[in-house]
Structure 1
Amino acid sequence: MKAHLVFVYGTLRRGESNHHFLARSQYLGCFETPAEYTLYDLGDYPAVVYGSNAICGEVYSIDDETLNRLDKLEDVPREYRREAIKTPFGVAWIYLYQDSTLLKKTILSGDWCQKA
Structure 2
Amino acid sequence: MIFSLTCASLTRMARVFVYGTLKKGQPNHSFMTTRTNGRAEFQGRGRTADLYPLVIGSKHNIPYLLNVPGKGHHVTGEIYSVDDQMLQFLDEFEGCPDTYQRTPVRIEILEWEGKSSAPEERPAVNSIMECFVYSTTTYPPEWINLPYYDNYDSLGKHGLRYNPRENR
- TM category (shorter chain) comes to 0.7 to 0.9
1:68 paired to 2:88: yes
Question: Judging changes above 3 Å, is the alpha-carbon distance between structure 1 residues 98 and 115 closer, same or farther for their aligned structure 2 residues?
Answer: farther
User: How big is the shift at 1:99?
Assistant: 2.4
Matched residue SS, 1:100: coil
Instruction: Give 1:17 deviation, angstroms.
Output: 1.4
Tell me how many residue pairs correspond in the alignment. Answer: 115
Long gaps (5+) in structure 1: none
Using the size of structure 2 for normalisation, the TM-score is 0.62
Partner of 1:106: 147
One-letter identity of the residue aligned with 1:54: H
| Farther-moved stretch of structure 1 (26-35 vs 82-91) | 82-91
| Residues 34, 53 of structure 1: 8 Å contact kept | no
Q: Distance in 1 between matches of 2:98 and 2:130?
A: 23
What is the CA deviation profile of residues 44-99 of structure 1, one whole-angstrom value per residue up to 9, with x for unaligned ones? 32001122311010000000000001000110110000110123453210011232
2:28 is the counterpart of 1:18: yes
SS of residue in 2 equivalent to 1:79: coil
User: For the residues of structure 2 that align with 1:14 and 1:26, how far apart are their CA atoms?
Assistant: 12
Equivalent in 116, 132, 138 of residue 93 of structure 1: 132
| Structure 1 counterpart SS, 2:53 | strand
Task: Provide the C-alpha distance between the structure 2 equivalents of 1:82 and 1:22, rounded to a whole number of angstroms.
Answer: 17
1:107 Cα deviation (Å)? 3.1
Shift of 1:15: 1.0
Conserved? CA contact 1:35–1:52, under 8 Å: no
Q: Separation in 1 of the partners of 2:134 and 2:42? A: 17
After TM superposition, the structure 1 stretch with the greater mean CA deviation from structure 2, 96-105 or 19-28, is 96-105
The match for 2:46 is: 31
- If each structure's strand is expressed as a fraction of its own residues, which one has the higher value? 1
1:11 aligns to what SS in structure 2?
A: coil
- 1:56 alignment partner in structure 2: 76
Contact 1:12–1:22 (8 Å) recurs in 2: yes
Q: Sequence identity, in percent?
A: 27
